[in-house]
Structure 1
Amino acid sequence: MKKMLLLPLCAALFASAATLTSCGNGGTTAQAPTTPAAQAKAAEDSVMARHDRLMGQSEQVVELAAKLQATPRPPRPLLAKLQAADQAMMTWMHQYQAPDSAAPAPQRLAYLQDQQQQLAAIEKQLTSALDSAKAAVGRMPAAATAAPTPAPGQ
């Protein structure tokens, strides 16, 4: 009788242990890279992921700027804020150069950490501009935010 009670208990423990070790990572635990080269690679991946995320936000800048420019009296300071945020992103992209893989790992890591800081500042600027633009568009009448339609015969 005791053996029959232990069997379901062992099965339950085994199942929960298997779940703990296979949380979508193939049974390995996520650890921070330990070698300087691995740290530099992780930093580069992080910079590129942030860049990709910010590029998605840059697309919103263009959409919101178009809506604001289509109004009878476009808010020039807000448009300038959107343009400055977009320009900051474009400037960063033009100046960024992936670190030379032959360079020492600590040097690559320092460069990438600096790039992360620059992107963090751009992200803050971009988020502020987008939040302001979204609020302005949200206050506009629905007809003003619709895409302009071409006149007949055009």
Structure 2
Amino acid sequence: MKNTLLLSGLLALLATGCQSSSAPDQAVADEPTTDPSAPGQNMMQNNTGMMAQNEQLNHLHDTLSAPGAGPRARAMRLHEAAMNRMEALGTERQRLAAALAKLSAATPAGQRRAARLRRTAAALQQADDQMMAWMHDAREPDSTKVSPAQVAAYWQQQLPVLKEIDQRTTAALDSAKALK
């Protein structure tokens, strides 16, 4: 879809930028001249502007579609990393629950260990819940109805949320592994 929008924008740019700005219906000379009133001189001015606009479109396309570039790509990498650790969250929760079930909380040391196991299991659950809530609530704007800049702005807003999920997941998993 992004390519279609960029292509249509480029075609519109080419269609409007190739005509002389002073006389759109006038034939354009093939050879540039130094006389600003000569036919075709405005064409050279338009070509310069058109080239600058084309560079902007190419930059926008590169930003939106290049691997690893742009806020959407960064957000998707964070999302995929979090998804790849969802199974580990569940496995660690189960391991901690089994350790808690085997633990004798009759002693003060056992009670402290049980409390730590519960806190760590709760942190694992919170990381899982936060990721699930983000996936449930995330609504990428329809690129056919909003500009590419608005889509990019949406993903830019999502990056801090996904970074927090990543940090919470990492911290919870590290805490669980430390309880071995």
- What interval of TM-score do these two structures reach, taking the shorter chain for normalisation? 0.5 to 0.7
Offset, 1:43: 2.7
What are the residue-to-residue correspondences of 1:1-154 with 2, within 5 Å? Answer: 34-35=59-60, 38-41=62-65, 42-71=70-99, 72-73=102-103, 75-102=117-144, 103-137=146-180
Match of 2:50 in 1: none
- For residues 10-57 of structure 1, the C-alpha deviation after alignment (integer angstroms, 9 at most, x for no partner) is xxxxxxxxxxxxxxxxxxxxxxx721x543444323322221111111
Q: Give the letter for the 2:135 counterpart.
A: M
Contact 1:81 1:129 in 2 (8 A): yes
Cα RMSD (Å): 1.7
Contact 1:40 1:108 in 2 (8 A): no
Select the structure with the greater relative contact order (CA < 8 A; seq sep ≥ 6).
Answer: 1
Contact 1:40 1:112 in 2 (8 A): no
Give every structure 1 segment of 4 or more consecutive aligned residues whose post-TM-superposition deviation is greater than 3 Å. Answer: none
Q: How many residues align?
A: 104
Ranges in structure 1 where 5+ consecutive residues have no aligned partner: 1-32, 138-154
- Distance of aligned partners of 1:134 and 1:61 in 2 relative to their CA distance in 1, 3 Å threshold: same
> How does the TM-score come out when normalised to structure 1?
0.62
The DSSP-based 3-state class of the residue aligned with 1:125 is: helix
Contact 1:47 1:112 in 2 (8 A): yes
Identity %: 34
